[in-house]
A and B are shown apart, each in its own frame.
Chain A
C-alpha cells in the first residue's frame, strides 16, 4: 500500500543544506504494523512528516513515496490536504498542543468529517459521539461539549485518536503517542491502538524510542540513526538477533526489570550527532566500537542477516562473534 523508496530530505540550516534523511526505504502493507525506533535527531519524526507532506519550508526531497501507486512527493498542497485525514492520519506526542484549546472535543473530532466527508453538523456530531465511544472515552456524551483542558492527558490522547480515526484512514502514523503519559495509561492507550488496528484494515506506523513499546505493538521494526535506517526486520527476529552495533548498544543501555542493583550499564560513548555532525559513510562510525577505515568510506548497504532482516554494517561477522553487551 505504502511504498517508500530511497527517500531523502535535505533541510536548510546555518551550515547550508544538510541531509536529514538519506536512502530510507520500506513498505507498509494494508493492515500491517511497523515501528520506527530511534533517539532524538535520528530522523524518525522527519520520516513521518515527509509521508504526511508536512516538511518544514525549504526542505528538498528525493526518492519516492507512493500510496497505492500514486506518488505523494511533489503533490500539490490541495491534493495532499485531501489525503491527510482521509487516507493518512497522524497522532502526536502531546495532545494538549495538538488539540485546539478553544474548540470543544466534539467539534474537533467532527471537523474531519465535515471537511472530508461533507457531513452535516448533526451527522458529524452523532458520528463524533460514536468515535469517542469507540476509543472508550468515559462519559463520552457529556464530554462532547468539554474543552481539552478539562480532560486528563490519557483522555486527550483518546480524543486525538478519535479525530484521527474519523475518516477511516488507511494509515495511522503515531509519533511517540504515549511518551507524555503515565505508565498505566500508556498501556491502556497502546492496547487501544492495537485493538483499533486489528479490528480494521488500517495500517500503523508507530514511532518510539522505547524498545519495550515496539516489542509489544508492531510486527516489523526499522531502527533509525543519523537519518538512515541502520537495521530492519520482523520484531521477534530482530530482537532475537540484534545485529547492528547501534541496535545492540541501545538494547544494552537500558536497565531491564529483574536485572537487580549494582551492575554496570553498557554505554554508547559520545552523543547522538547533530545533522551537521553526521559523519559521511556509516552514521554510527564515530560512536562504534567496531569501526574500521572502510566504515567511513560509504554508507554500508543493507546486509541480510535473517529472514527479511538486514543491517547496514560491513563488520557484522566480527560484531556477531562478540558477546552481546
Chain B
C-alpha cells in the first residue's frame, strides 16, 4: 500500500489547518426557473441556494446537514462544477472553478472528486472494476493499472478484484470501489453526498473508519453531506446547517448538537432517535 500514495505525496500537501483555505465558497446562489404556469405570466423561480459562504482548510472536514430540499445537493453540484451558479464563486486552490475554460476545468477535476450515496447506481454494471476505477485517470495502460491496484489497496480491496464486475460485490465493497475511483487522481477535496446512507449498519462503520484513515494518510479534505447528525459528528470538524437554500447555523458539531441556537437545528437534533443505554 505504498508508491503512488507514498508519504512524500502527503508532504507536498500542506499540513492540516495551515495557510490559505483549500476551498472558498463565496456568496453562492442558484436559481432554477420552473416551467411557465400561464402564457403571459413570468415563469416561477425557485431559489435553491441563497448567498452561501464558507471556507474549508486542507485536511479538515466540513459537514453539511439539512433536510431534503434544503439545498445541500445543489451546493454539492456547484462545488463540483457540475452546474453553473446564478451568482457567487467556488474557489479551489486559488482558482475560481466557474471561470475556468472547459479544458482547464477538465484538468482541474483531478483535484476534486465526488462519492455518491448509491453504490448500486453510481457504478456502470457493464464495466470491469479496473475500467471503472481508472476512468478519471489519464496515462498509459500500465501506469493506469498500477494506480488502480494502489487505489484498491488503499480502500482495502485486492488486485484480484480488477477483472470483476460491480454485481460481484456487496454494497459496502461497491462504496469502497467508488471511493477508490475518487481517490485515484489523488484529489485534495472529496465531496461525499450521503456516502453511507444506503449501507447496512454493520458495514457503515467500516466505510466511516476508511474515510477517517484516508484523511489521516493522505490529508484529504471532505465536504460531507448527510442527513445523519451522528455520522456528521463522527467525521467532521465543523458543520453548517442548511434550510431553504441558506446556512442557518454553523459551528463545531459538539456546540451545534448540544447547544444549538437556531430553532431548526434544535428540531433536527431533537428528532434523532437515540438509544439510551443504562450502565450494566
Contact = CB atoms under 8 A, between A and B. Distances in A.
A239 B271 CA distance: 20
Contact of A182 (B68, B201, B278): B68
Contacts of B158: none
Contacts of B68: 153, 182
A239 B278 contact: yes
Given A211-B275, A240-B277, A184 B172 contact: no
Contact of B273 (A216, A236, A258): A216
Interface string A252-287: 011111111111111110011000000000000000
Max count, chain A CB within 10 A of own CB: residue among B170, B200, B208: B200
Contacts of B205: 253-254, 265-268
Nearest to B277: A239
Nearest to A208: B273
Interface string B202-241: 1111101100100000000000000101110111110000
Nearest to A153: B68
A40 interface: yes
Contacts of A209: 200-201
Contact of A258 (B201, B227, B237, B258): B258
A209 B67 CA distance: 20
Interface residues of A, number: 45
Contacts of B102: none
Given A39-B200, A39-B201, A40-B200, A261 B230 contact: no
B86 interface: no
A215 B278 CA distance: 12
Contact of B234 (A40, A210, A239, A265): A265
Contacts of B229: 183, 257
Contacts of B254: 260
A93 interface: no
B19 interface: no
B217 to A, nearest CB: 15
A183 B236 CA distance: 19
A209 B275 CA distance: 13
B268 to A, nearest CB: 6
Consensus secondary structure, chain B interface = helix
B253 interface: yes
A256 B271 contact: no
Interface in B159-201: 170-173, 200-201
Contacts of B203: 271-272
Interface residues of B, number: 42
Interface in A192-229: 209-216
A219 to B, nearest CB: 15
Nearest to A236: B278
Contact of B206 (A153, A212, A255, A267): A267
A264 B233 CA distance: 13
A281 B91 CA distance: 57
B209 A251 contact: no
Max count, chain B CB within 10 A of own CB: residue among A39, A185, A240, A253: A253
B269 interface: yes
A187 B204 CA distance: 22
Given A267-B202, A272-B202, A261 B234 contact: yes
B276 interface: yes
Contacts of B35: none
Given A182-B227, A212-B275, A216-B273, A254 B201 contact: yes
B68 to A, nearest CB: 6
A110 interface: no
Interface string A231-244: 00000100111100
Given A190-B273, A215-B274, A265-B205, A184 B267 contact: yes
A186 interface: yes
30 contacts: A39-B200, A40-B200, A153-B68, A184-B271, A187-B270, A190-B273, A209-B200, A215-B276, A240-B277, A242-B277, A250-B201, A250-B202, A251-B275, A253-B205, A254-B201, A255-B208, A255-B231, A257-B230, A259-B234, A260-B233, A261-B235, A264-B209, A264-B212, A265-B205, A265-B209, A267-B202, A267-B206, A268-B202, A268-B205, A271-B170
